Amino acid sequence: MKRAVPAIVLLTTLLGGCVTANVDEMTFDAPVAGMADGSIVILGRRHAPDYDTEPDFIDCIGNHISRGSESISVIPERQFVDALYPWFEPRTAPLSIESVGRLMVLPSVANKLAELGLNYMIWIDGRTQDTNSSGSMTCGVGPTGAGCFGFGTWGTESEYEATIWNFDDGAEVGKMSALTSGQSYMPAVVVPIPIIAPVQDTACDSLGTQLLQYLSAGS
Amino acid sequence: MVGRLLDSMTLGRKAQRLVTLIILIVLTACSSREVVVEGSFPTPLVDPVPVSVGILFTKEFKEHELIDDATGRGEVSWRVSTGTAQVLFWSTLFPAFFQDVVFIENYEDLQTYDVDAVLIPQVADVQYAIPLYTNVKVYEIWMRYNLALVEPEQLVDEESAAITLENLQPFAEWPLTAYGKTPTAFMQSDVDAVNLAAVMALRDAGANFITSFLRVPGVMDWVENPEEAQ
């Protein structure tokens, strides 16, 4: 059993990295100078009937950008949505930058957005989901103990698209997307050992890095 | 059935009682779910409508709950209590949405406060769907309200010195729908997911109310001239 431990650790390390990532970028209006003491908000789309963009993915992107640039202030999603309730709920959230113009007609909304000093609003739409699974595992409990035996595997796919709105210019300035996929494994000889592909984390790193490069361009 | 199972085991009488109790607790827990909806609700960012309104939460509204008893094998009974959350949510929204708001608790309040109208929200229906029944990976809650704006005088029953809701003739009456969902991927338990879906539905109800209020027939005329439009 002791000999098996290094092999399991090695296998975990090797298989844990089985993730492929594709990132596409399409920007119409790259900033000539990076943001200086500006603020952004990253929001998840929540109006699809069968999924919501995960709040923890939005937090992950925000943390990635905050870590990468001290000059960019990222307003937490929940704080922003609550501060502007009910204008960014699934029913009322603007689907285009032109709709934000209509919101700005309301003095209370215009004042709040001015108070927040918002330069960019970034919408993330997408999700992570398991695609296929196979294998089997049997677990049992007996007088001498419990254990499992078998092997399971499943695929996971993340697909996200970020749309960047420039608040100073009142224009949509770019789109970026990240598509990542990976295969996770769970061999079990007495104890199940999950070897999870970090698919969503990879998508977060890819998209976060692209967004950070865009927002920091020229600085 | 539990008795037969226990008879087949070699256990003392006390141990049998304890095992019976544990089995019954587990079976009860497996077959019913109880949710008392809880959440924090933000104050809406709106320019207040320039009217003074009394808000009357009825007993049914304050104590509203959805009860769905299991009818088949493998189904689970649900009891979703929304009343406390309803009161908390609308008590946050109305004072921000209207310029002056008083909450009408009794007959004396009606006599004391001079309001342009009294708003009475009522929960007409609440429905839910969980992945077990729909095979869709989201927990969903639908709510339907009936709202009515009435002249304060209509609620006064002089004889019994009490509030009456009989024979009301609202000058504005309208339905309001709301929807909330929680994907299964977000939640650890059914109860948490239904709670969050209910909180989302309440927020959606508020968003719907705020964006549609001035389009309700009769309301705009009343807002422009609260004294005469009724």
Q: pLDDT per residue over B117-147, tens digit each?
A: 999 999 999 999 988 777 777 899 999 999 9
In B, minimum Cα distance to A56 occurs at B186
CB contact under 8 A, A51 and B43: no
Binary contact (A106, B208; C-beta < 8 A): no
Nearest to B110 by CA among B149, B147, B154: B154
Residue B97 φ/ψ, nearest 5 degrees: -85, -35
Question: Between residues A219 and B84, which one has the greater pLDDT?
Answer: B84
Query: In this predicted structure, what is the pLDDT of residue A38?
Result: 79
Q: Which of B44, B136, B183 sits opposite A86 (nearest CB)?
A: B44
Average pLDDT over residues A65-72: 91
**Contact between residue A43 and residue A58 where contact means Cβ atoms under 8 Å apart:** yes
**3-state SS of chain B: helix, strand, coil percent to 5?**
40, 30, 30
Task: Kindly report the nearest CA distance between residue B138 and chain A, in angstroms.
Answer: 7
Least confident window among A55-59, A140-144, B206-210, B211-215: A140-144
Phi-psi region of A103 (alpha: psi -120 to 50; beta: other; left: phi over 0): alpha
Q: For tokens 């937490």, what's the residue?
A: A76
- pLDDT above 80 for B52: yes
Write the pLDDT tens digit of every residue in A75-120. Answer: 999 999 999 999 999 999 999 999 998 899 999 999 999 999 999 9
Q: What is the mean pLDDT of residues B201-229?
A: 91
- Structural domains present in chain A: 4-216 (3.30.160)
Structure tokens at B168: 């009301």
Cis peptide before A86 (omega within 30 of 0): yes
pLDDT in tens, A156-212: 999 999 999 998 888 898 899 999 999 999 999 989 999 999 999 999 999 999 999
The verdict on a CB contact (< 8 Å) between B207 and A92 is yes
Q: What is the pLDDT of residue B64?
A: 96
CATH fold of B37-224, please? Rossmann fold (3.40.50)
Record the tokens describing residue A40, joined without a space: 């952004």
CB contact under 8 Å between B181 and A87, yes or no, is no
A30, A66, A71, A37: which is closest to A169 by C-alpha?
Answer: A30
Instruction: Name the residue among B151, B184, B189, B157 with its Cα closest to residue B170.
Output: B151
**For residue B67, is pLDDT > 60?**
yes
For chain B, domain boundaries: 1-32, 37-224
B186–A129 CB contact, under 8 Å = no
pTM summary value:
0.84
Chain B interface disruption, residue of A84, A88, A89, A130, most B CBs within 10 A: A89
Q: Do B211 and A86 touch (CB under 8 A)?
A: yes
Size of interface A-B (CB pairs under 8 A): 56
pLDDT at A14 over 80: no
pLDDT, residue B1, reads: 44
pLDDT at B5: 45
**How far does A44 lie from chain B, in Å, by closest CA?**
14
Contact (CB<8Å) B47/A108: yes
Q: In what order do the strands lie in the sheet with A72-75?
A: A19-27, A171-192, A145-166, A118-142, A38-44, A72-75
Poorest-pLDDT segment among A49-63, B23-37, B81-95: B23-37
- pLDDT tens digits for B70-120? 877 777 889 999 999 999 999 999 999 999 999 999 999 998 999 999 999
Q: Do A83 and B204 make contact, defined as CB atoms within 8 angstroms?
A: no
Give the mutation candidate from A46, A85, A87, A109 for the B interface (greatest B CB count, under 10 A): A85
